[in-house]
Amino acid sequence: MTRTDVLIIGAGAAGLFCAGVAQQLGLKVVLLDHSPKVAEKIRISGGGRSNFTNILMDAAQPHRHFLGENPAFARSALARYTAEDFVSLMNRHGVPYHEKHKGQLFCDRSSQDLIDVLLKECAAGAKGGEVLHWQPCALRSLTHHDSGESAPHYLAQTDRGPLQAQAVVVASGGLSIPQIGASDLGFRLAAQFGLEVVPPRAALVPLTFEPQHWQKFAHLSGLSLPVSIQTTRGKQVAVFEEDLLLTHKGLSGPAALQISSYWSPEQALLIDWLPARDLKHELVALKQRSRKLLANELASWLPQRLVQAWLDNQPQWQQPIHDTPDKALVALAESLQHCALNASGTEGYKKAEVTAGGVSVAELSQQTMESKKQPGLYFIGEVVDITGWLGGYNFQWAWSSAHACAMGLASQLNRL
């Protein structure tokens, strides 16, 4: 029998960081993961350079960059361990990084630099603290015992034998990218102990369309351009201005990934292909001074391939702009700036960067991430129903929720 203060299930971003902070606060930690590779999701993130946080994050207004049944739940953790705090950690370890776009910070060299920081934090050493890495090692069962002569504890049956812990942290992530080991373990553990789980779904994921509805765009695969894209989820209207990538199946790129977190099958996507222009006014004004084909004028603003696809089989738009009726120009502007598309689905967890939904925040303490009904059981990171935008927000939630959890663990266990 191995005995420890804390068992952390999942050695990804949240689990590794929680382990490092907890052992520096004097706790003994066993970090367990069924995968043979350390932090594989970190390794492949951000094109291999890991977008580890976002300096534009507003911890006081988490609803601006996070979604879930109650995004405000994240405020406490995000405010107590901020993006600036994690940047300071990277600075202390001498990791070079750069801002790429809209506050997104990436490692200059590779994601391995970030993984090395987390591993070094786990090995930093503190009086009485330690982190034992059990990897690869599968969890077979987890039970709670609060009667008899011993103090309340959890008993885990693992591939390396039984383990007794005073507290358990579930940092097992979601269902995204099953090919590197993602599973529903965290959701099953929550359900086992009676916690509500908001139905999970793929998020930050490319969108797909029925082939017959995508025929107009399918041959434009590989085309990318800046757009404004919006949809409605419940009472919330989500709008993003980002680059959109057309694929043979549908839409990808930052704009599609961002909107996918809010998309639902019954809601259309509204796309403005020329978001920086008052196209109606500009086309009517241009008519007074140009004798070019309408297609040639549009091609100065939009990719030629898109223009051709848009104007195909539309006789009213196949003539010089000065011969095109105002009504036809207005209709063209409307079609380009209020383009409604109905996606049929997503490319699923195989291509999703994160999983939306998860353990309901109504079940957890926003101060410590501990279950309200199951003492000593904590949930952090992606397994919780807090999902960030593309751009480093999900990593920051991992760091912040892990830090809140580690502080709560130390406060509780060091007092016992």
- DSSP class per residue in 50-101: -EEEETT--TT-GGGTEESS-GGGGHHHHHHS-HHHHHHHHHHTT--EEE-S
Lowest mean pLDDT among 12-21, 148-157, 361-370: 148-157
Amino acid at 91: N
Q: What percent of the chain has pLDDT over 90?
A: 93
pLDDT digits (tens, 9 = 90+) for 63-122: 999 999 999 999 999 999 999 999 999 999 999 999 998 999 999 999 999 999 999 999
pLDDT digits (tens, 9 = 90+) for 159-172: 999 999 999 999 99
Do 256 and 303 reside in the same domain of the chain?
yes
**Phi, psi (deg, nearest 5) at residue 253:** 80, 170
- The encoded tokens of residue 90 equal 């990277």
Closest alpha carbon to 195 in 40, 43, 375: 375
Do 26 and 118 reside in the same domain of the chain?
yes
Do 215 and 341 reside in the same domain of the chain?
yes
Do 119 and 251 reside in the same domain of the chain?
no
Do 299 and 408 reside in the same domain of the chain?
no
Q: Return the CATH number at 29.
A: 3.50.50.60
Distance of CA 140 to the CA centre of its chain: 28
What's the rounded mean pLDDT across residues 245-253?
A: 97
**CA–CA separation, 404 and 416 (whole Å):** 19
Report if residue 268 sits inside a domain. yes
Report if residue 45 sits inside a domain. yes
Q: Which residue has the higher pLDDT, 277 or 126?
A: 277
Do 165 and 310 reside in the same domain of the chain?
no
Report if residue 243 sits inside a domain. yes
Last residue of a domain, one of 346, 381, 399: 346
Do 309 and 360 reside in the same domain of the chain?
no
Report if residue 12 sits inside a domain. yes
Do 275 and 390 reside in the same domain of the chain?
no
Q: How far is CA 370 from CA 13, 52, 336, 401, in A?
A: 18, 25, 49, 11
Give the pLDDT score at 415. 65
Report if residue 235 sits inside a domain. yes
How many domains, in total, are found in the chain? 2
- The encoded tokens of residue 120 equal 């070094």
Report if residue 351 sits inside a domain. no
Q: How far is CA 112 from CA 45, 90, 117, 266, 351, in A?
A: 11, 13, 9, 41, 22
Q: Which contiguous run of DSSP H or E holds residue 402?
A: helix 393-413
Do 160 and 221 reside in the same domain of the chain?
no
Q: What percent of the chain has pLDDT over 70?
A: 99
Lowest mean pLDDT among 6-15, 142-151, 194-203, 283-292: 142-151
Give the pLDDT score at 125. 73
Lowest mean pLDDT among 61-70, 141-150, 190-199, 311-320: 141-150
pTM for the model stands at: 0.95
Residues 377 and 193: beta-carbon distance below 8 Å? yes
Do 45 and 177 reside in the same domain of the chain?
yes
User: Phi/psi zone of residue 191: left (φ > 0), alpha (ψ -120 to 50 degrees), beta?
Assistant: alpha
- Residue numbers of the domain that contains 258: 207-346
- Specify the length of the chain in residues: 416
Do 195 and 325 reside in the same domain of the chain?
no
Last residue of a domain, one of 346, 370, 401: 346
Last residue of a domain, one of 321, 346, 371: 346
Closest alpha carbon to 28 in 151, 154, 133: 133
Q: Return the CATH number at 215.
A: 2.40.30.10
**CA–CA separation, 278 and 327 (whole Å):** 16
Give the pLDDT score at 128. 84
Do 186 and 270 reside in the same domain of the chain?
no
